[in-house]
């Protein structure tokens, strides 16, 4: 696992059915591109988050493939309409095989 990786998510605690809500996600990650060299001229190995997904009550909502040009601390913001109370599950996949997860529950107001 890369150092200092910490997922953060912001989802409203409740929403009306069919209301458009804003979901913000950020994961702190250095996103080493694999294009850089260290002081001795050796290539620094690529180490990025390569995929981000969001599921709601088990159903996939967002699935993003990420490439090396994405900068440090990738941030995704998207809108969602919630049909029922339930749980958002967020998953980030690291190059080194680590998987970081976070969940947020939302109630119907």
Partner 1 sequence: MRKLTGLKVPGALLATLLATSAVMADPVDDTLTINGETEIVVRTAAPEHLSGAMSEIMSGWLFREDDTRIMQADDFDNPGMIFVELAEDSWNMAEGSNGKSCADCHGASADMSEVRPTYPKWNETAGEVRTLEMQINDCRTNQMGAEEWKYTGNDMVNMTALLASVSRGNVVNVAIDGPAQSTWEQGKEIYYTRYGQLNLSCSNCHEDNYGNMIRADHLSQGQINGFPVYRLKNTKLNSAHDRFKGCIRDTRAETFSPGSPEFVALELYVASRGNGLGVEGPAIRN
| Binding interface with partner 1 (CB under 8 A) | 4, 6, 8, 10, 24, 26, 28, 73
Going 22 to 58 to 3 to 41, the CA torsion angle's sign is negative
Kindly state the smallest distance separating residue 41's Cβ from partner 1, in Å.
26
Kindly state the smallest distance separating residue 4's Cβ from partner 1, in Å.
6
Closer residue to partner 1 (CB): 24 or 36: 24
- CA distances (Å), origin 46, targets 3, 7, 36, 51: 14, 20, 9, 14
Closer residue to partner 1 (CB): 40 or 69: 69
Instruction: List the structure tokens of 52.
Output: 């981000």
């Amino acid at each position: 696992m890369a150092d200092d990786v910490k997922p953060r998510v912001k989802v409203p605690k409740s929403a009306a059915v069919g209301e458009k809500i804003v979901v913000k996600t950020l994961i702190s990650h250095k996103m080493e591109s694999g294009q850089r060299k260290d002081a001795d001229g050796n290539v620094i190995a690529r180490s990025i988050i390569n995929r981000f997904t969001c599921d709601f009550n088990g159903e996939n909502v967002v699935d993003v493939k990420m490439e090396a040009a994405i900068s440090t601390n990738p941030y995704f913001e998207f809108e969602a309409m919630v049909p029922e109370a339930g749980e958002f599950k967020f998953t980030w996949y690291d190059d080194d095989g680590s998987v970081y997860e976070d969940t947020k529950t939302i109630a119907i107001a």
